[in-house]
Structure 1
Amino acid sequence: MGDLTGRTVVITGASSGIGLAAAVAMARRGAHVALVGRDPDRLAAAVAQVSAAGAGRTPPAYRADFTRLDDVHVLVDHLRQRYERIDVLTNNAGGVVAGAARTVDGFEPTLQSNHLAGFLLSNLLREQLRNGRIINTSSAAHTWGNLDPADVTGDLRGARKAGMWKRYGAAKQANILFAAEAARRWPDIMSASYHPGFVRSRFGAGIGVHLVTKVTPFAKTPEQGADTLVWLASTPRPQLVSGGYYEKRKLIRPNAQTDDAGLAAALWEASMTAVGF
């Protein structure tokens, strides 16, 4: 992997799992890492680990709950004040969100936390990200989804009929489509999405899903799951395909629906409307 010395990297979902493993790996490669997480205690523990990996440099940490878009706006204010330039933004926050049918913003919670919040964050940091990179954590679970842009704008008739895993699949489709459309609309930015594999982490905490990963011998470690993310952040740009979807450091094609430029454009427009642009 390439050197990251002096580069500024913002990682969401950085307090545990893939995000924390990526933060540690990038700090070891010389990056100036900023951590974003929801839980203050886990975020503080993550700061200590990343500081140790980065030769004692204490990374800034920001609390943000991506089921609240107001938190994204506050986060952006902090990041703009601190950084004129961001070299890499990793939209890694997400997972399966159980509970309320809608967020306080009126959207399906899994779609908002996995896609809309990161989409808003990326758009608000557009100037800081010039000639930088956006990397979205997606999943092979995108094949479970049947994304309808109408669901993004708050019309949840389709989303209500879908089960928990289909909603998650739709959110992972959105990660891939967002990266592909960003490559077309923002050619100066290298955007990509990737599948980390089945990883032992806090994924699904609160609904029991994380228990599965703890007892599955074939699950990857967070460090293994973060490998492609770190590779995408550090590999020289000419060796990468902007808008691509990657697994195990290789460019692969998502399923047919998710490899649809028309759907990607429709999702972008619906997402812009949803977040208030």
Structure 2
Amino acid sequence: MGRTIVVTGASSGVGLAAAKQFAAMGDDVVLVGRDPQRLANAVAEVRDAGNGREPGRYRTDFDSFAEVRALADHLLTNLPRIDVLANNAGGMVEHHRKTTDGYEATIQGNHLSPFLLTSLLRERLRDARVVNTASRAHMQGKPDPDRLAGDPAKYSTWQAYGASKAANILFASEAARRWPDITSVSFHPGVVRSNFGVGRVTRFFYKYAPGLVTPEKAGALLVWLSTAPKDELVQGGYYVDRDSPATPAPHARDDSLAAKLWEASAEATG
């Protein structure tokens, strides 16, 4: 019997590549994405990779806690078990923007909404695995639990993105402490060739720069973290390859910051 895998941000890039690899292994995959057409195209690709097995799908915008709650309700209603939750959805926001929930859009989409989704699925994830897509960009920003709404006057695209990726690492490590029955890890997928980023220069770089990692290779690391024997992984670890966990920046391994961010995130998401 195949595993049941939920992949957010599955419409393209790392998420889609991993979803196809899971499907080829015989797993039941549920794809979560924001854009309906891209999600439909991804479903077709994953169906082909799985020899005709129909993947699940659900359209969700992580800018909205209400939509995340609807997604969690859908998954709890339709999936008797979840073996892996791949918190892969994320992106970059060019200018400071608050969501309808009142938080800076980068930290909400990349951290608060995945935090909320995982928390809502927590009981269904007992003895399961949560894999969080982080980034080496975490070195460029530090999350501030007291200011999740952000400051328009001080906004920097890369600092906001970096802070959200540091939050992913802190979430994985704190989840490992609070939920020891769930295997929780984070990883850096590499600088992946994709449609990632904002602005023409950044998008050009991620599409055409030499030496970029393919989505397939990055997806393979996500799949390995999702399927490797539990005793081969370090609980709460941050990975950049299949060797032992890497050491993130000091602020991303600060246990007191992780605990404070958890409490602020729980309050923010209700």
Per the TM alignment, residue 206 of structure 1 is displaced from its structure 2 partner at its CA by 6.5
Q: 1:10 aligns with which of 6, 10, 33?
A: 6
Change beyond 3 A, Cα 1:126–1:94? same
Instruction: Show the 5 A alignment for 1:145-156.
Output: 145-152=141-148, 154=149, 156=150
Q: Report runs of 4+ in structure 1 exceeding 6 Å deviation.
A: none
Instruction: Show the 5 A alignment for 1:206-221.
Output: 209-221=202-214
**Residue 271 (structure 1) aligns with:** 265
SS at match of 2:116: helix
**Residue 232 (structure 1) aligns with:** 225
**Residue 238 (structure 2) aligns with:** 245
Kept in 2, the 8 Å contact 1:21–1:222? The answer is yes
SS at match of 1:94: coil
TM-score where L is the length of structure 2: 0.96
Kept in 2, the 8 Å contact 1:69–1:117? The answer is yes
Structure 1 unaligned regions, length at least 5: none
SS at match of 1:11: strand
SS at match of 1:107: coil
Q: Which letter maps to 1:58?
A: E
**Residue 251 (structure 2) aligns with:** 257
Kept in 2, the 8 Å contact 1:98–1:207? The answer is no
**Partner deviation per Cα, 1:207-260 (whole Å, 9 max, x = no partner):** 652221111011111111212111100100011011000011231110111111
State the distance in 2 between where 1:106 and 1:206 align: 24
Q: How much is the aligned-residue C-alpha RMSD, in angstroms? A: 1.4
TM-score where L is the length of structure 1: 0.94
Q: 1:113 aligns with which of 100, 109, 115?
A: 109
State the distance in 1 between where 2:115 and 2:83 align: 17
**Partner deviation per Cα, 1:124-170 (whole Å, 9 max, x = no partner):** 00111111000100000000012211123x3x24x741411000000
Q: 2:134 aligns with which of 110, 134, 138?
A: 138
State the distance in 2 between where 1:100 and 1:168 align: 11
SS at match of 1:242: coil
State the distance in 2 between where 1:36 and 1:97 align: 20
**Partner deviation per Cα, 1:25-63 (whole Å, 9 max, x = no partner):** 111111110000001111111111111111211101100
**Residue 15 (structure 2) aligns with:** 19
**Residue 215 (structure 2) aligns with:** 222
Q: Is 2:33 the partner of 1:37?
A: yes
Instruction: Show the 5 A alignment for 1:132-211.
Output: 132-152=128-148, 154=149, 156-157=150-151, 160-204=153-197, 209-211=202-204
Structure 2 unaligned regions, length at least 5: none
**Residue 82 (structure 1) aligns with:** 78
